[in-house]
């Protein structure tokens, strides 16, 4: 197994708390320059204190070649991006200009220092279709003019150090892989007289030619000169030919490995129940699932990221452990391939594997809808939306019944939430094998992060607010399954049907077109608890989707999900169900204003929304004393301008 190393300090935060205010002021000054757009600093990169996202508005359309314009733009805004006058900052654009389906152009620029690449420091310039710059994203390292790019260690010695590190046996007494001769010296095949000193070497027994070149490796707070090296392992009967990217120090006589990662990733699979053991028998599925499986627009060429950091149920998005052992499930390895499999369907390991799959699937699903790291999602990244360190979900499977069957602890951005899953007191089935239960709990975390912002932990405690959260969780759990159901399969209308071994599932009523509750019933004995209030909201939204589906089929789900997530950001905090209704209409208005909905489609969607809310007593004249259960008056009217 390849030892992976990264000596960069992920906990290092450069600059003082007032750094953002300082750069914001500079951005305003740059905005005042002739011909410059209005600039706004969205957030900073913690390790470099440079701007992670610069938003650009106004300006004039341009027909200039995008790469040239992007390179000039990052230089013109260098101080607004966080560079001081003493820093040496240059960028080289990628030769390929990427384009979105709407005609927007994206130029990637790599940071250079006197002809030497700065490792993994990239700026991304985004253009509107008419050539106006809309955003500059990414990171760059602040480097002084005194940084030395003359290596102390040559390429041969660096490749020697990298190969020896990679071939070192995992256990004492074992043979290294690949076995190296006692005296091993790679030979130079070609070298070029450029600032980065690119060199090609023969590093047998590693396969093929080995490229090496100098890079600047920013560690935070220091920067090191290093050799970037790519080595490929020979294939064996039990191991595919893995490839590694290594950075070895070049600024000291004794080289050290600063960074090592595999670039050819192993095949990772798991045997899971995709929905539950009755609807979908256990099957082998890739971890992660392909981007196309979600049938949603992909926002990043890096999507999806790896789910696993090794051969256990833990990774960037989640760590799954059992309450009893406090350890993740471990996969079996065949060479570099990884398979998560349990010999028994009803076992701790199967619960962990399944819950880990569900949680990662949901992470990627919500990321495609826009709930990404900048929006406050659950991920072990460089920084969260509030600048804190990462916060992957901690999944705990319990071998006993839990109050409420499962739970998701609320947590502010930067703090990992805990998702607990237990067994049913009567059916004895485990909630880790039922997608609707896990998706319901995971969606709680999403709602909690969005309503009132990622740092507000008390936005959903009032009766109607808590009910709204329950209803949204049921909506996502059911609609995700229904979106991907085979043609002719009936709509799923029950939460936890397999888990509870009951046709009614975990709720009092099915979410069908004849759902009996209305808004005026809130506060009565039947509708006083959050799950009961949530039923009303979910039943309303399920009916909205059904009616939209008759007009636009699966696009109805995409429109619903988008409006719901946008409305959670727009809604007042703490919200009533009527506030949530109004936020949905506001989200629809914004979608229309953007030009993504035609006037006819907008008016039809708005009419349908109000008619459905009126059907459930949340019409135009409905009132309430805030998110409490007092002063509730239902209405079955639509707004006069619609009626």
Domains by residue range for the chain, with CATH: 19-138 (no CATH), 149-262 (no CATH), 265-457 (3.10.170.10)
Is the per-residue pLDDT at 262 higher than 80?
no
Instruction: Quote the pLDDT of residue 461.
Output: 87
The residues, ordered by sequence, that sit 6+ positions from 508 with a Cβ below 8 Å of its Cβ are: 526, 532, 535
The residues, ordered by sequence, that sit 6+ positions from 568 with a Cβ below 8 Å of its Cβ are: 446, 447, 450, 451, 472, 583
Q: Helices (H), strands (E): how many in the chain?
A: 11, 22
How far apart are the C-alpha atoms of 232 and 245, rounded to whole Å?
A: 9
Out of 72-76, 250-254, 382-386, 552-556, least confident range:
382-386
Residue position matching structure tokens 């002063």:
631
Q: Residue 290, class by beta-carbon neighbours within 10 Å (0-12 exposed, 13-18 middle, 19+ buried)?
A: exposed
- Torsion-angle region of 406 (φ positive above 0: left; ψ -120 to 50: alpha; else: beta): beta
Is the per-residue pLDDT at 238 higher than 80?
no
Q: How many CA atoms lie within 13 A of 48 on its CB side?
A: 25
**For 524-563, what is each residue's pLDDT tens digit?**
999 999 999 999 999 999 999 999 988 877 689 999 999 9
| Cis before 119? omega within 30 | no
First to last CA, the chain: 68
Q: 394 pairs with which residues across the strands?
A: 319, 418
Say if strands 418-423 and 393-401 run parallel, antiparallel, or are unpaired.
parallel
Distance of CA 185 to the CA centre of its chain: 43
**For 188-236, what is each residue's pLDDT tens digit?**
999 999 999 999 999 998 888 999 999 999 998 899 999 999 988 886 5
Q: 261 pairs with which residues across the strands?
A: 245
**For 485-537, what is each residue's pLDDT tens digit?**
988 889 999 999 999 999 999 999 999 999 999 999 999 999 999 999 999 99
Helix (H) or strand (E) holding 431: none
**For 441-450, what is each residue's pLDDT tens digit?**
999 999 999 9
The residues, ordered by sequence, that sit 6+ positions from 280 with a Cβ below 8 Å of its Cβ are: 273, 274
> Percent of the chain beyond pLDDT 70?
94
Alpha-carbon dihedral of residues 424, 425, 426, 427, nearest 10 degrees? Answer: 20
User: Helix or strand or coil: residue 22?
Assistant: helix
Q: Which is more confidently placed, 327 or 309?
A: 327
How far apart are the C-alpha atoms of 346 and 339, rounded to whole Å?
A: 18
How far apart are the C-alpha atoms of 570 and 572, rounded to whole Å?
A: 7
Q: Where are the extended beta strands (E) located within 96-222?
A: 98-99, 105-113, 116-127, 133-138, 187-191, 199-202, 209-218
> Percent of the chain beyond pLDDT 90?
64
Query: In terms of pTM, does the model score above 0.85?
Result: no
How far apart are the C-alpha atoms of 145 and 152, rounded to whole Å?
A: 19
């Amino acid at each position: 197994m390849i030892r992976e190393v990264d000596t960069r300090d992920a906990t290092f935060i450069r600059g003082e708390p007032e750094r953002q205010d300082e750069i914001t002021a500079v951005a305003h000054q740059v905005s005042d320059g002739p011909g410059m757009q209005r600039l706004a600093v969205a957030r900073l990169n913690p390790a470099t204190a440079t701007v992670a996202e610069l938003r650009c508005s106004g300006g004039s359309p341009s027909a200039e070649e995008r790469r040239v314009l992007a390179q000039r733009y990052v230089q013109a805004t260098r101080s607004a991006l966080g560079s001081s006058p003493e820093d040496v900052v240059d960028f080289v654009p990628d030769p390929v200009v990427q384009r979105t389906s709407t005609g927007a152009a994206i130029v990637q620029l790599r940071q250079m220092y006197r002809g030497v690449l700065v490792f993994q420091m990239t700026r991304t310039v985004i253009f509107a279709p008419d050539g106006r710059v809309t955003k500059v994203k990414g990171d760059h390292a602040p480097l002084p003019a005194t940084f030395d790019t003359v290596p102390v260690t040559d390429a041969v010695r660096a490749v020697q150090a990298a190969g020896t590190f990679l071939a070192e046996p995992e256990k004492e007494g074992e043979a290294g892989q690949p076995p190296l001769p006692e005296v091993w010296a790679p030979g130079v095949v070609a070298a070029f007289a450029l600032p980065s000193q690119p060199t090609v070497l023969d590093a047998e027994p590693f396969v093929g030619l080995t490229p090496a070149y100098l890079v600047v490796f920013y560690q935070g707070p220091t920067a090191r000169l290093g050799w970037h090296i790519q080595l490929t392992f020979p294939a064996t009967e039990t191991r595919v030919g893995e490839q590694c990217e290594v950075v070895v120090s070049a600024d000291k006589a004794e080289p050290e490995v600063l960074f090592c990662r595999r670039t050819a990733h192993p095949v990772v699979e798991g045997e899971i129940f995709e929905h539950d053991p009755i609807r979908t028998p256990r099957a082998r599925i890739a971890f992660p699932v392909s981007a196309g499986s979600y049938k949603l627009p992909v926002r990043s060429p890096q999507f999806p990221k790896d789910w696993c950091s090794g051969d256990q149920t833990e990774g960037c998005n989640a760590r799954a452990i059992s309450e009893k052992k406090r350890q993740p499930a471990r996969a079996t390895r065949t060479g570099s391939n990884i398979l998560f499999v349990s010999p028994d369907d009803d076992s701790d390991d199967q619960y962990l594997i399944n819950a880990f799959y569900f949680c990662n699937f949901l992470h990627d699903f919500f990321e495609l809808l826009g709930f990404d790291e900048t929006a406050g999602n659950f991920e072990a990244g460089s920084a969260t939306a509030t600048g804190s360190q990462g916060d992957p979900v901690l999944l705990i499977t319990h071998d006993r019944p839990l109050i409420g069957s499962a739970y998701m602890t609320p947590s502010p951005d930067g703090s990992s939430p805990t998702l607990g899953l237990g067994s049913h007191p009567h059916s004895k089935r485990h909630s880790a094998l039922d997608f609707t239960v896990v998706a319901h709990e995971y969606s709680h975390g999403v709602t909690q992060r969005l309503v009132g912002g990622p740092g507000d932990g008390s936005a959903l405690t009032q009766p109607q607010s808590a009910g709204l959260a329950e209803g949204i969780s049921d909506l996502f759990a059911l609609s995700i399954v229904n979106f991907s159901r085979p043609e002719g399969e009936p709509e799923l209308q029950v939460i936890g049907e397999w888990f509870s071994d009951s046709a009614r599932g975990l709720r009092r009523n099915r979410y069908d077109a004849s759902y009996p509750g209305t808004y005026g019933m809130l506060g009565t004995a039947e509708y006083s608890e959050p799950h009961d209030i949530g039923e009303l909201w979910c039943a309303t939204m399920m009916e909205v989707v059904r009616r939209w589906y008759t007009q636009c089929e699966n696009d109805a789900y995409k429109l619903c999900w988008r409006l719901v997530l946008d409305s959670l950001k727009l809604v007042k905090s703490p919200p009533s169900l009527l506030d949530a209704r109004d936020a949905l209409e506001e989200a629809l208005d914004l979608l229309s204003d953007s030009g993504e909905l035609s006037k006819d489609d907008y008016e039809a969607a708005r009419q349908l929304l109000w008619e459905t809310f009126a059907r459930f007593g949340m019409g135009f004249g409905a009132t309430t004393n805030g998110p409490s259960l007092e002063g509730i008056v239902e209405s079955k009217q639509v707004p006069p301008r619609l009626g």
